[in-house]
Amino acid sequence: MSVNLRDFLMSLAATTVSIVLTFGTTAIIDRKKQREEKREMALMIMFDMRESLDNIRQIDSDLKDLFDIQVDVLAHPGKLEKSYFDMVTKVPFASYTTTTENIFRSSIETIQTLGSILFIQTVSSFYDIRSQYKVQIVDSFQNEAGSALTRYDSLRGLRISNYIFLSETYLKTMERGYEQCKIMMKVSEKDLDAFSRQQKQLLDATRGAVMDELQQTSDAQLERADRLRKAIEEGKKELKNQIFP
């Protein structure tokens, strides 16, 4: 083999290896980035699911406490007035947000990143049940309990036990879906705890700037109110001078 041919083949081999390494490395980096994005998105969704479950478990517990108070008051009508505050504090209230759900449902990129159809279906079902829980338990109970907690006859007709039955049914279904999601995405409670700490650190880091901005906005509003007050006073003086020169 001539020297020129050997040099050409060695150069060609080196070029080929370089191309393979370049595209191979790029593919590895892309796959790694995709896995990281998928895991980050899964953590965000499952953290939202866990926060929702914490709120719903509290609602479920409050309903059971409220039922105990109801039973006691119905057995001892004289306790109605004193027990009113205790009952009001147990009325269910949904404190979770729907921000993550809106992102999950509205972005096709989210579905493409997650990849797993079964995971997507399970999360969708979770959010559907959460919505039903709010409508059929939280909202419905608030509407019914508005006047029922103030009068003995109305309290007697309030079927809190029915709400508890629905709450337990929905809660168990949502917990089962949440556990399935953890298995599918290989996410543990420790992973979610770490994600929670990361979110808290991010909020803490921006809280100072937000408070400063709110203070500036508040100061500006006070200044505008003061200018308006002075303008009204000046206007009154001018009108008074026009009437009584």
187-201, pLDDT tens digit by residue? 888 988 988 888 777
Low-confidence ranges of the chain (pLDDT < 70): 1-35, 113, 202-215, 243-245
> Looking at the domain assignment, is residue 201 inside a domain?
no
| Residues in CB range of 142: below 8 A, 6 or more apart | 91, 92, 93
> Looking at the domain assignment, is residue 130 inside a domain?
yes
pLDDT on residue 244: 62
> Looking at the domain assignment, is residue 118 inside a domain?
yes
Pick from 45, 149, 152: nearest CA to 99 = 45
Q: CA Rg, the chain, in Å?
A: 31
> Looking at the domain assignment, is residue 228 inside a domain?
no
> Looking at the domain assignment, is residue 30 inside a domain?
no
pLDDT on residue 30: 46
| 150-164 per-residue burial string, b: 16 or more CB within 10 A, e: under 16 | eeeeebeebebeebb
Cβ atoms within 10 A of the Cβ of 91, count? 16
201-221, pLDDT tens digit by residue? 766 666 566 556 666 777 788
80-110, pLDDT tens digit by residue? 888 889 999 999 999 888 888 988 888 777 7
Distance between CA atoms of residues 198 and 44, nearest Å: 11
Range of the domain at 178: 37-185
> Looking at the domain assignment, is residue 19 inside a domain?
no
Distance between CA atoms of residues 201 and 196, nearest Å: 9
Cβ atoms within 10 A of the Cβ of 88, count? 12
> Looking at the domain assignment, is residue 127 inside a domain?
yes
> Looking at the domain assignment, is residue 107 inside a domain?
yes
Give the count of domains, the chain: 1
